[in-house]
Structures are given as structure tokens and as C-alpha cells.
Amino acid sequence: MPDRPRTRIALYGDSLSLPRPGVVVNGQRYIMRLHDRLEERLGMVVDVLDRGEGGGSISMLKGRVIHDKGYYKEPGFLAVMQSGIVDCAPRPVDESTRVRISRLPSFIRKRVIKYLHNNRTRLLLRRFYVRTSPSLFLSEYQEALKWLKVHYEHLFCINICPAPASYEKVSPGVTRQIAAYNELVREAAASAGARLVDVHSMIQDGGDIYEYIVREDDHHIMPRTHEWIADDILTQLGTETLPSTHPSRA
């Protein structure tokens, strides 16, 4: 019996793309839903290059893309990029200060972290910092998509989910930041010919936000959101889309 032809899908995402203990199991993630449904639709073996990474900034994810392009030379079918909240969320200290705090002796570090936690809202109202500036976010995103475009037939960019009111309360300014960085995601996607997965609008228009966002942390996503993302990507692909390696195109 001849081997079935193979293709590949890839995910480059932050912690929203990962399983969430007690909330989202691996098989419910959008990348695994895509895997299962594409294997069924295409009749091919679909390999998954899973680069979901907790705390993954756009620079970290771009680094993964550049690393992978040196090893995965065969053309892939589709790649998904999900990034933004790590980069844009308001923070009470800048990145260099955060690194210095992490190097303090334990008993001092714990006191500093406790102070920052207890005074977070007041500090953010006075001034906040971001992990990645808007200009750097856009350039890193565009660079990542440039390389993905070389190796994948279809690119999808998932924008940043909206912030519940309780998230805005403890992190004032996050709603405005999400809106600004979502425009950068849109710009990067358009410049690369990638398709936008507008999960932000879907959640805003979907009724109870906690059907889509985890109530306990106000930003990770529920199984229903993973399902919608997979469905939207498949809808945008269309039923007639086939990988270049599909036997009917050989």
C-alpha cells in the first residue's frame, strides 16, 4: 500500500494558542482542529509544526520562524500567526527594569513584586510601558510573515482578543493598546497577502464575553473560541483549496 502524501501546517503563537489545564485540552486547540479536519478533507497526512509558546512576544516568534526555515525546506500548506497581547499589554516597569528585578536576591525581589502587584493600577494610570514598541512590533511581524510566505501557500494572522471590563480595570489602557496593535496586525497581514482572522470582532459581537474568554485571567481563550478560529480559517480557505502536493494536482 503506497504511503499517503504529506503536507504541513504551522502555528506560531503565544500562550493563547496552547492548552489550558482544566479549560482547553490539546485536541480542542484550533491548530489541532485544523489538523483533524484538513486530514479528513484532503485525504493526506497533515504534519503539525507547533510553535505555541507561553509569553511569546513577536520577536521570539519571529526567531522561531527564522530558525525553522533552515530545517523545514518542503513547502507547507498553511501557517498561522497569533501574537500581540504579550507585546502591547500595559506594564508598570520597562523590560530592562523587569530583568534587573529578576536578578535581585529572593527576599528583596518578592517585596518589589508584591509592591508592583498591589499598586499596579495606580502605577499604570501614571505611566505604563510595553514589551514591544508599535514600530518594532510591526517590523518584526512583517519580517516573520515575509519568511513564512516563502515556505507556506496560505498565511493567516489572528488578531488580539478584546479585554473584558475587569481586565481594563486592573490594567488601564489595555483596551486602547489592543485596538492600536490590532491595526498593526491588519497592516502586516495586508502587506504580506495574509488573511486576517478577526477574533476580536467576533468576540465583541458574540454576546457574553466569558463564553469566549477565560473568566479567571481575562485573556486566555475558551474551547468555543478555538473552534470559531478553526472554522473561520477553513471557511476562508474554501472547499476547493488543495495543497500543491495533493495527488489530484500532481
**41-58 tens-digit pLDDT:** 888 999 999 999 999 999
Task: For residues 30 and 147, give the distance between their C-alpha atoms in angstroms, rounded to a whole number.
Answer: 22
**Same domain as 75, residue 32:** yes
Rounded to whole angstroms, what are the CA distances from 178 to 37, 95, 137, 196? 31, 19, 13, 15
- The C-alpha cell at 213 is 474568554
Residue 239's pLDDT is: 74
Last residue of a domain, one of 129, 146, 181: 129
Residue that wins the pLDDT comparison between 2 and 154: 154
Whether residue 171 contacts residue 90, with contact meaning beta carbons closer than 8 Å, is answered with yes
Is residue 171 predicted with pLDDT exceeding 70?
A: yes
Residue 175's pLDDT is: 97
- Report the pLDDT averaged over residues 231-248: 78
The answer to the question of residue 72 being in a domain is: yes
Task: For residues 191 and 71, give the distance between their C-alpha atoms in angstroms, rounded to a whole number.
Answer: 26
Of the chain, the percentage scoring pLDDT greater than 70 comes to 95
Domain containing residue 206: 6-90+134-249
**Same domain as 143, residue 180:** yes
The answer to the question of residue 162 being in a domain is: yes
Is residue 1 predicted with pLDDT exceeding 50?
A: no
pTM of the predicted protein model: 0.92
Task: From 53, 48, 20, select the one nearest 34 (Cα to Cα).
Answer: 48
User: In sequence order, what E strands does the chain have?
Assistant: 6-13, 45-52, 76-82, 152-158, 195-197
Is residue 2 predicted with pLDDT exceeding 60?
A: no
Whether residue 129 contacts residue 95, with contact meaning beta carbons closer than 8 Å, is answered with yes
Last residue of a domain, one of 102, 129, 156: 129
Is residue 117 predicted with pLDDT exceeding 50?
A: yes
